[in-house]
Amino acid sequence: MKLLPLLPCLLLLTGCATSLPPLKTVEKVDLPRFMGPWYVIACIPTFIETEAFNAIEDYRLDADGTIATTFTFNKGDFDGPLKRYTPRGFVVDRVNNSTWAMQFVWPFKAEFLITHLNPEYTRTVIGRNKRDYVWIMARTPEIPEADYQRLVAELAEQGYDVAKLRKVPQRWPEAH
């Protein structure tokens, strides 16, 4: 079964609460506007992401209100084998749309908190209250270093160990 290797990751993602205060999520997410591809700029990676290159998370809002998610990356280097995962997102907070649960394998759902989203919907940060994993994502494969450093500073203020951040190598043809 292809999903069996994900089980340890899911158990980690659904683990115990932390003593840190809960993360503040963004006030409102326009779900249709949030949909589409997001390049993973940096993350505190799960075990499947430690060697990710060209990582992209793509979201599609389905008619039932769930979010079809496709996470793809090349493993090991830019020419490495293409890996593809298809978890399903569930919007937990229907008022703000900023608290989701992500399900890789039934019945486990991992916390998925949209803690940063700029007004242009070009930069986002997805976090977890445990501060064990985080993803900085953008609509483009690169962001200005100053913007990246601001996001890293926000994460440090929220209690993340930013020394664990891994910049995800992104290299795409001009037309991508």
pLDDT digits over 93-109, tens only? 999 999 999 998 788 88
pLDDT tens for 135-149 read 999 999 999 999 999
- Answering whether pTM is above 0.75, one says yes
Q: Is residue 109 part of a domain?
A: yes
Q: Is residue 73 part of a domain?
A: yes
Task: Say yes or no to pLDDT of 88 above 90.
Answer: yes
Task: Say yes or no to pLDDT of 41 above 70.
Answer: yes
Comparison of pLDDT for 58 and 105, the residue scoring more = 58
Pairing status of strand 108-117 against strand 123-127: antiparallel
Q: Is residue 171 part of a domain?
A: no
C-beta contacts of 72-77 below 8 A and 24+ residues apart: 73/40, 73/49, 73/168, 75/51, 76/51, 77/53
What is the per-residue pLDDT for 176?
55
Q: Is residue 58 part of a domain?
A: yes
What is the per-residue pLDDT for 84?
98
Q: Is residue 170 part of a domain?
A: no
∠ Cα 61 53 175 (to 5°): 70
For residue 9, the surrounding DSSP H or E stretch is helix 7-13
- Determine how many CB atoms are found less than 10 A away from the CB of residue 122: 14
pLDDT tens for 12-21 read 444 444 478 9
What are the distances in angstroms from CA 104 to CA 68, 76, 152?
11, 22, 27
Q: Is residue 146 part of a domain?
A: yes
Comparison of pLDDT for 16 and 164, the residue scoring more = 164
What is the per-residue pLDDT for 19?
77
Beta strands, E only, the chain: 36-44, 52-61, 67-75, 82-85, 88-91, 99-105, 108-117, 123-127, 134-138, 166-167
Number of domains in the chain: 1
| 108: CATH | 2.40.128.20
Domain encompassing residue 107: 9-164
Q: Is residue 16 part of a domain?
A: yes
Task: Say yes or no to pLDDT of 9 above 90.
Answer: no
Q: Is residue 2 part of a domain?
A: no
> Cα separation of 58 and 22, whole Å?
26
Q: What is the mean pLDDT of residues 23-50?
A: 97
Q: What is the mean pLDDT of residues 56-78?
A: 97
